[in-house]
A and B are shown apart, each in its own frame.
Chain A
Amino acid sequence: MNRHAKINSARTADQSHFRTLRLGTPFQPRIDALGLKQDWYNWAGYRAPHSLWDEELEYFAIRSQAALFDISPMTKYRIEGPDAEAYLDRVTLRDVTRLKPGRVHYTAWCDDEGFVLDDGTLFRLSPTRFRLCSQERHLPWLLDSAIGYKVSVEEETEAVAGLALQGPTSFAILRDAGFAGVERLKVFDLAEFAHEGGTVTISRTGFTGDLGYELFVPADKALSLWDRLMAAGELRGIRAIGYTALNRARLEAGLIVANADFTTAEHAIRADRLRMPDEIGLGFMIDPDKGHFNGRRAILEARAKKKLRHVLVGLEIEGNIPAEHAIVYYRKSQEIGLVSAAMWSPMAKRNIALASLRRPYGETIVDDLWVEIYAMRELQYQKLMKKAKVVPRPFIKLDRRTANPPADF
């Protein structure tokens, strides 16, 4: 082996990852201490909680107090350079030239055929520096698209820890934690604040449709940030929560999840599962006047030739039995689509759902829609055929989400 002596030590040091199939996030010591249920799931290779102690109370922490949710496993890319704006304007759907430094927008990006690769949030940290957060991983796509631009793309998922602090008391907690000036953040604003000799980036964003913030911090400052928030929030009902509660809040907010409500283009094995933005409710992001972007030609052609085949809609379903993954029918007989997420909404007091329908159903034909619910009750399906109505999203609209200054609960 002497002739093989040149060992890359950094690389070999990472060999041991095979002993830990599910990583902990930088917040894991705190989450493990609170995770009384030991109810974990796999989020992109991390051990993430479905629920920590009580699903219901975790949900109500979002709506009535403040909920702390660890978003560190979210994929994060640092995109930087003099051409970063032009590059992202080309790669993503929305007009990035209108995204000012200190602002965030929700966007999506497509392959050349106009099929959605993913949706995510784009943070403009400075005129030349951005952070793109997403569900799936896209480094080859982002790097290949960068050819010809003066821009660097770096994956920084492990280096940056993230927290969502959501709920009516979230603003008061941040203020009490000493983040002076946080009251000036309007929805989709971001700013940097001092923390432990470093900085934390706080944005007024979230996945709940409620008043809320997201905080990004270098991984080594994660635990002190957690402790700072928990201490400040003690009297305002701050609670750590798992994904089940968050998933309910996001559905009430009418937000979609990649590979739950639609299949991303790089994962779709079956060609008919691919979706254009207009087919999953993201048509509003498309700006035909902004210049070229990936998928533009195909998307505009599909619009012009009426080749869009699907539509994603919000449904209100009679009764209170959730219609999870129910088939949607026209006139109780013709299959026209599928429910991808459903719940009884405690905030709206309605039985709500997201569904993908085959056009023209959900587009021009919106009457006489039905869902067939298979409710398993003590080892028997109770089959229910319930009337469904197409309704606008979000299913709930909370004034406190956008109120300025944010209310002091």
Chain B
Amino acid sequence: MKAWDAIVIGGGHNGLVNACYLQRAGLDVLVVEKNDWVGGAATSRELTPGFLYSNCSYVCSLFRPEIMRDLELPRFGLQVISYEGGAVFTRDGDYLANYRDHDAHRREFARFSKRDAEAYDRYSRDVTRQCRFIQPLLMRTAPDPTSFRLRDLGELIYLGKKFAGLSAEEMALTLRFWTMSISDFLDEYFETDVIKANFALSGIIGTALGPMSPGTAYVLLHHYMGEVDGSVGAWGYARGGMGAVTRALAASFKASGGTIRTGAEVDHVLIRNGKAKGVVLAGGEEIHGKLVISNADVKRTFLKLVEEKELPDIFLRRVRNFKIRGSSGKVNIALDSLPEFHALPKDSPVYRADMHFTDSIERMERAYDDWKAGRWSADPFLDMMIPTTLDPTMAPPGKHFMSCFVQYAPPKIDGRDWTDADRDGFAESVVSQIAQYSPGFRDRIVHMEVRTPREIEAEVGLTEGNIFQGELTFDQLLFNRPVPGYAQYRSPVGGLYMCGSSTHPGGGVMGAPGRNAAAEILRDLAKPSLHMSPAHDVI
């Protein structure tokens, strides 16, 4: 029976990135994916004729350009289009927009507060300084401070030097950034509710924390670290939806000789004498491999796919305690015409941007209160956009696809599982919020896909539907992600690796965990990683 050089469990973007690098390094790699399509949470599916949804993740910025280049993703069809800023609608019938032009941005803020308008430069400087500190760490394996191996010491020194390179003021800011709430952080710069709400949303997306919870300032940084073709901090749409990212990865993988098996759900990892030897599919079929790499999150991998007896107690306990709480849902809507918004002039670029309705941090925090009580938010926070204003491939001419990321949605309702009636109630909270700002919105709806944490976990396999495969709080970052002592993509089981967003540097469609894991695997095999570019310089 054939033994593959490596079997990757899960065809999400990180699994595919990992598989591509290994295949290009000369390994014979098989990707097994439980769904009949690849993509994980970066997928585009046609659920109603003529409309393509970005079913889960919906925007692109964090995906590392080095990986796009190494894996020739443009050649395989990937194109990312920057979109035009964003807006928060206010309850008094106005809106606050983020324009790409620096001076328009300032003038827009000045409509609400001249002071805050002029505070943006300092805010932007401080955030940029912090991003420049963290960005080079994304494409490096985090050092293990407990090992005394030369490489770990070297990496620790690198980290220390980078930290020492900061001024005293910046060091203080760094520590504050890693521990503060986004609300407290923004209070140091701005005074206007809607302006703070505008920035705070990046601090809570995908996180089971409220804007007043410590640790959310870092989550904001995480969302500022991306770029669209060198335009730092910009966000864009993948043409054809986020599935275009994984379609290009799958095509690149196959072109280099890799094999993908869809409809192949792994039941467990085959382990003999403490070493991974392959996987056993749900139907009982055994597939043998010299290495097994799991793209699934750390809980799914070690609590479902590996038998407890194979793992040390402390490791198991830490995996169980790893925070990977469901906090968000998704509503994808097919519309038969472009919605209008009372507040928004028809020629506003905001139609081609992300839109929000939560105009104060207090409202965000109240939405989080509902989550704590085990309910979906009655007044949810939406990150809403209409990608078809820039991408004609996702809906027929004149019709539109609207993507609504919705927060908060708890993994369980009052301690019990979600029901279909709950799901419908959740969807209604979203539609009614939009309809308050957009006349006739309901009449435009052709079809909706509603995804609570229940659907996301069942389909994509993300535990509790957590989009980051584990929260991005500082206790779960760098050498503590996912578990101290196992932050370098290896596990207690020989030959079993992790490459998902549960590992450093975390979630978002970034690809860095998949790439960094490939680098570690190739190092263990003593194979050169010729096809892997070093991280771009940050100068």
Contact = CB atoms under 8 A, between A and B. Distances in A.
Are chains A and B native binding partners rather than an unrelated pairing?
yes
Interface centre among B119, B128, B167, B345 (most CB of A within 10 A): B119
A347 B30 CA distance: 75
Contacts of B132: 269
Given A45-B106, A268-B125, A139 B167 contact: no
A107 to B, nearest CB: 19
A42 B104 CA distance: 12
Contact of B99 (A18, A22, A140): A18
B36 interface: no
A4 B436 contact: yes
B439 to A, nearest CB: 8
B97 interface: yes
Contacts of B129: 269, 271
A15 B111 contact: yes
Contact of A11 (B94, B103, B347, B439): B94
B118 A140 contact: yes
B349 interface: yes
Contact of A1 (B106, B107, B122, B342): B342
Given A7-B93, A45-B103, A271-B170, A139 B347 contact: no
Nearest to A153: B115
A32 interface: no
A380 interface: no
A8 B107 contact: no
Interface in B126-147: 128-129, 132
A4 B92 CA distance: 5
Contacts of A266: 121-122, 125
Nearest to B435: A1
Given A18-B104, A268-B125, A271-B170, A140 B115 contact: yes
A154 to B, nearest CB: 8
Contacts of B112: 11
A100 interface: no
Contact of B122 (A18, A22, A140): A140
B531 interface: no
B27 to A, nearest CB: 41
A214 B98 CA distance: 36
A140 B437 contact: no
A137 B110 CA distance: 12
A113 B128 CA distance: 20
A267 B107 CA distance: 18
Nearest to A5: B93
B107 A4 contact: no
Contact of A7 (B94, B97, B108, B436): B94
A44 B103 contact: yes
A155 B93 contact: no
Interface in A41-61: 42, 44-45
B129 to A, nearest CB: 6
A21 B108 CA distance: 11
Contacts of A349: none
Measured as residues with beta carbon below 8 angstroms from the partner, the interface class of chain A is 20 to 34
B522 interface: no
B93 A21 contact: no
Interface string A15-51: 1111101100000000000000000001011000000
A143 interface: yes
Interface centre among B91, B97, B107, B439 (most CB of A within 10 A): B107
Contact of B94 (A5, A12, A19): A12
Nearest to A2: B436
Contacts of A268: 125
Interface in B424-479: 436-437, 439
A269 B111 CA distance: 27
Given A139-B118, A140-B119, A1 B436 contact: yes
B93 A12 contact: yes
A140 B436 CA distance: 35
Interface string B73-94: 0000000000000000001111
A138 interface: yes
Interface centre among B101, B117, B122 (most CB of A within 10 A): B122
A47 to B, nearest CB: 11
Interface centre among A16, A17, A267 (most CB of B within 10 A): A17
Contacts of A155: 114, 118
Interface in A257-289: 266-269, 271
B113 to A, nearest CB: 9
Interface centre among B115, B117, B166, B347 (most CB of A within 10 A): B115
A269 B112 CA distance: 27
Nearest to A274: B167
Contacts of A318: none
A360 B378 CA distance: 66
Nearest to A143: B115
A22 B437 CA distance: 30
A113 B169 contact: yes
A377 interface: no
B344 to A, nearest CB: 9
Given A1-B93, A44-B103, A271 B114 contact: no
B270 to A, nearest CB: 51
A14 interface: yes
Contacts of B111: 11, 14-15
B454 to A, nearest CB: 32
A312 to B, nearest CB: 21
A95 to B, nearest CB: 27
Contacts of A139: 114-115, 117-119
A136 interface: yes
B94 A8 contact: yes
A2 to B, nearest CB: 10
A268 B167 CA distance: 13
Contacts of B91: 4
A137 B93 contact: no
A18 B125 contact: no
B114 A18 contact: no
B437 to A, nearest CB: 7
Interface string B55-73: 0000000000000000000
A6 interface: yes
A42 B348 CA distance: 22
Contacts of A143: 115
A22 B106 CA distance: 12
Contacts of A271: 129, 166-167, 170
Interface in A230-268: 266-268
A17 B108 contact: yes
Given A44-B103, A269-B129, A4 B166 contact: no
A4 B121 contact: no
Contacts of A140: 115-116, 118-119, 122, 189
A239 to B, nearest CB: 28
A299 to B, nearest CB: 16
A19 B439 CA distance: 24
Given A1-B342, A8-B92, A266-B121, 17 more contacts: A1-B93, A1-B437, A4-B92, A4-B93, A15-B94, A16-B345, A17-B104, A17-B107, A18-B99, A21-B101, A45-B107, A137-B106, A139-B115, A140-B116, A268-B125, A269-B132, A271-B166
21 contacts: A1-B93, A1-B439, A4-B91, A4-B93, A6-B93, A11-B111, A12-B93, A17-B104, A17-B107, A18-B97, A18-B99, A22-B103, A45-B104, A138-B118, A143-B115, A155-B114, A268-B125, A269-B125, A269-B129, A271-B129, A271-B170
Interface of B: 91-95, 97, 99, 101-104, 106-108, 111-112, 114-119, 121-122, 125, 128-129, 132, 166-167, 169-170, 189, 342, 345, 347-349, 436-437, 439
